[in-house]
Amino acid sequence: MSLFTTLILSQILVPIAQFIILLVMVKYVFKAEKASPWTLIGIVIVAGMIGGFFGSIGIPIYFVLFGVALYKKFGLRFSQIAITLVLILLTLLVPVLLLQLQVKSDKATQTASADTKTWIPFTSAKDQFSVVFPKKPNVSNYDEPLTDKAGRKRTAHFYTIPLAYTVGVYTYLDINFDQTNEVDQIKFIKGYRAELASELPNSPAPTSTVVSFNGRPALSYIDSFVFPLETQYLNSEKRTIIFLKGSRLYVLDATKNQRDNADNRDFFFNSFKLF
């Protein structure tokens, strides 16, 4: 919701809410005579216009006008006037809360934009992808083929920003995943994930979701964990996306730590492109 929309809604909804409160309280709860809807609408409009004219001191004037109108026009007792004014006060808090929520949202967006302005593009011709990182990643190449638990040989390359972002690429020497259907690809990915889970037997497996990523079937899931860092513990949430292309299995990890100013995981994932 934009700031303009928030202001418009507050200027429309607040007077309507105040009219409804007056109608219910004065006419039906306190059963005052001469409490016609037109009279109540007039009180709302006049009080709002005069209160708004006085700027920063308009709020107390606003409530004085309501109180005088309730006493002079309808003869309400002090306790009845107080109850009605408290309910009207609650309607004035609505735009304040909406504005606070909007400002908080805008600040988060501005922080995220500021954080990502200095990110740098990174391209791997070897593994045929491009992405942006907060800084130059650490690159680890394991070109000596290793054998997985199913007996398949693969090499591995990792592009890493520690505790934040990682692109892992496994290249299988005897498989072309493009020759398999989507069901078999997801089955293979789940097998890889089960292999990872077997290395961490005490960690509960998070629920995964089949998604489309770069136009390819992929598996997405989120891990929440606590990471020890020097003298403190860091609450973290890691989102992982795994997919296949050609002979490669791509594993993308993006972690949001409690000390981060903004959540830039979507920015990282959206920047990833295959070529």
- What is the residue-level pLDDT of the chain in tens, covering all 275 positions? 555 565 566 677 888 888 899 889 988 898 887 788 888 888 888 888 887 777 667 778 888 888 898 888 888 999 999 999 999 888 877 766 766 666 565 555 444 555 688 999 999 999 999 999 999 999 999 999 999 888 999 999 999 998 899 999 999 999 999 999 999 999 999 999 888 877 765 666 678 899 999 999 999 999 876 655 554 556 788 999 999 999 999 999 999 876 666 789 999 999 999 99
Q: Which residues contact 182 (CB under 8 A, 6 or more apart)?
A: 217
Rounded Cα–Cα distance for residues 181 and 80 (Å): 72
- Out of 2.40.128, 3.30.2320, 3.40.1000, 3.40.630, the CATH code matching 119-274 is 3.40.1000
Distance of CA 60 to the CA centre of its chain: 38
Is 0.75 surpassed by the pTM of this model?
no
216-229 β-sheet, strand order: 138-147, 153-161, 165-172, 248-257, 232-245, 216-229, 208-213
The residue length of the chain stands at 275
The continuous run of DSSP H or E covering 179 comes out as: none
What pLDDT is attached to residue 207? 82
Residue with tokens 């990643």: 137
In the three-class reduction of DSSP (H, G, I as helix; E, B as strand; rest coil), residue 150 is classed as coil
Rounded Cα–Cα distance for residues 36 and 20 (Å): 12
Rounded Cα–Cα distance for residues 256 and 273 (Å): 21
Rounded Cα–Cα distance for residues 263 and 254 (Å): 10
Task: Kindly list the distances between the CA atom of residue 219 and the CA atoms of 67, 181, 223, 241, in Å, as whole numbers in the listed order.
Answer: 62, 15, 13, 6
Task: Kindly list the distances between the CA atom of residue 115 and the CA atoms of 108, 247, 261, in Å, as whole numbers in the listed order.
Answer: 10, 35, 8
The continuous run of DSSP H or E covering 275 comes out as: none
Q: Where are the domains of the chain?
A: 3-115, 119-274
What pLDDT is attached to residue 27? 86
Rounded Cα–Cα distance for residues 118 and 134 (Å): 7
Task: Kindly list the distances between the CA atom of residue 130 and the CA atoms of 70, 83, 122, 240, in Å, as whole numbers in the listed order.
Answer: 68, 63, 6, 17
Rounded Cα–Cα distance for residues 271 and 96 (Å): 37
The continuous run of DSSP H or E covering 1 comes out as: none
CB of 132 closer than 8 Å to CB of 268: yes
- Please choose, from the candidates 159, 208, 161, 162, the residue with its C-alpha nearest in 3D space to the C-alpha of residue 186: 208
What pLDDT is attached to residue 169? 98
Exposure string of 77-94, with b = 16+ CB inside 10 Å and e = fewer, is eeebbeebbebbeebbee
Rounded Cα–Cα distance for residues 219 and 243 (Å): 7
